[in-house]
Structure 1
Amino acid sequence: MEYQNVLLQIEGARADVIINRPERRNALNSATISELVAAFEECRDNPAVRVVVLSGVGDKAFCAGADLAETQQSMSEYARWKGREPFVYLWELLGKLGKPIIAQVQGAALAGGMGLALNCDFVIAGEQARFGTPEINVGMFPMMISAILIRNLGRKKAIDLMLTGRQIDAHEAERIGVATRVVAQVQLKQEVDTLAAELAAKSPAIMKLGKDALYNATDLPFEQALDYLSSMLSLCILTEDSREGLTAFLEKRKPIWKGQ
């Protein structure tokens, strides 16, 4: 695919997916969402890629949410409803990617941009980052991201943000579970680079099984989750990487992962 609003850079085991609309604060229009889908599918299907970093061009915004200029275009409500399908698919794709995703958040992560960050496995934020769901202030509601907010923050914190529309700084985001960690702005890239290298050095087979298991078990009743996770543990043990990891530990050497 020819990308215009997204940059896809793959080097070794790492892929960088970068929203490239700084003039629109990296807002999401339909073309950008389609390109994000294509980029993440490419990362998913490339066996060499073991970790993905998602970021936005510039210092002002990671992603400011939906492009409001596009939402004002004249179309039928049915067409508008159908147009949300790629957005829903993107959310599902991130959870099922089978590879760890790091959101590198600089500047604003608002509305759908906050949802995009929360759909990643790690949110590493610079001290100048801020988060929020301001839709209520313009007569809208963050319907499309409320499910991911509830699952990450719990009911009370999610309702606080969605009903007030207030924005929070990076340190409050870390305190309530939006951000994995906060670092000085000048250290943001180095922190992400270090984490990405650490994750890329793990077994890709076990990483996929583990991430899939975590996401799938989240919404299961407790007893069903235990049964499901027991089966997933058996799958882990049956992999070549699991045997290699245990053998390498006993032999006091670094494991050589095959991703099998």
Structure 2
Amino acid sequence: MELKRILFEVSEHVATITINRPERLNATDDLTRTELGIAWARVRDDPDIRVAIITGAGDRAFSAGQDVRATAESGIRNKVPGSRLHHNVWKPVICALNGMAVGGGLHQVADSDLIIAAEHAELIDTHLAVGNVFALEAAVLLRRMPLSMVMQLALMTKKGRISAQRAHEIGLINEVVPADRLQQRAREIALDIVKLSPATVQASIKAMWATLDVGLHAAHDVAYRYVLQHQLTHPDYREGMLAFAEKREPRWVVE
């Protein structure tokens, strides 16, 4: 299928997904969300892809969220958010936050494993300003940043915007870099992750996200099941230790 709203590239086991509507501040309409679903399915199902980077075209916006004009004219037909968690992608995802992330654009940010931001990037929510409930994005953000900061985004709308530096200070963003270093830095991290066991990485990511659904004691049980299953069933567990003992690079299984 020819993609019209996003760019999708794969190089050295890294897929780069770029929301490509700079003239609309990378706002997502029905077609954009459909194409993001296609891209995430490719990331999930293609064994050659080990890491994904999600970013936006240009330097003004990562994504302005839902295309309000398009929705006002025709309504929403595709209601599935185009983020990795909604498509069961457990390969590592890096968000290269190249500008403002607004409203529905926060899905991609909150649902990523690592977030690298340009210095001028910022988080904004406008759901309440247009009569929409701020809940889906908040459900994940509340697991990654303080309640007071999520309330600030929601209730103060545009005046409650959070800078990249502030988001870094509260632990949401991993690194803040100059804009001209953003894509390079995201790729550097991705290429380091590529060297790890794909199966072990995915099992670890899935286990960590799964533990957020339950309390502490149940989380320990969930985590242990993932650890035990990997140790008992996957050859990379033994291969990693053998490679360390034999002082050589591991030969990971790619499935």
**Shorter-chain TM-score: what band?**
over 0.9
Contact 2:27 2:65 (C-alpha < 8 Å) held by counterparts = yes
Give the match for residue 158 of structure 1: 150
Change (3 A) 1:141 1:91: farther
Distance of 1:160 and 1:248 partners within structure 2: 49
Percent identity reads 31
Given the alignment, which residue of 230, 236, 242 partners 1:236? 230
Give the match for residue 105 of structure 1: 97
Distance of 1:70 and 1:142 partners within structure 2: 19
Distance of 2:154 and 2:245 partners within structure 1: 51
Given the alignment, which residue of 83, 87, 93 partners 2:86? 93
Letter of the 1:140 counterpart: N
Distance of 1:18 and 1:133 partners within structure 2: 21
TM-score for both structures, normalised by structure 1: 0.91
Contact 2:15 2:52 (C-alpha < 8 Å) held by counterparts = yes
Q: Which structure: greater helix fraction?
A: 1
Contact 2:127 2:133 (C-alpha < 8 Å) held by counterparts = yes
Distance of 1:114 and 1:186 partners within structure 2: 22
Contact 2:40 2:84 (C-alpha < 8 Å) held by counterparts = no
Distance of 2:97 and 2:46 partners within structure 1: 25
Contact 1:153 1:176 (C-alpha < 8 Å) held by counterparts = yes
Distance of 1:83 and 1:39 partners within structure 2: 15
Given the alignment, which residue of 243, 247, 252 partners 2:242? 247
How many correspondences in the alignment?
252
1:145 aligns with 2:137: yes
Give the match for residue 187 of structure 2: 193
Distance of 1:224 and 1:51 partners within structure 2: 29
Q: For 1:104, what is the secondary structure of its paired residue?
A: strand
Give deviations 1:17-56, integer Å, cap 9, x for gaps: 1111011000011100000000110111100100001111
User: Any stretches of 5+ residues in structure 1 without a counterpart?
Assistant: none
State the Cα distance separating 1:152 from its structure 2 match.
1.6
RMSD: 1.7
Distance of 1:60 and 1:204 partners within structure 2: 34
Distance of 1:74 and 1:257 partners within structure 2: 49
State the Cα distance separating 1:189 from its structure 2 match.
1.8
Change (3 A) 1:252 1:159: same
Letter of the 2:218 counterpart: Q
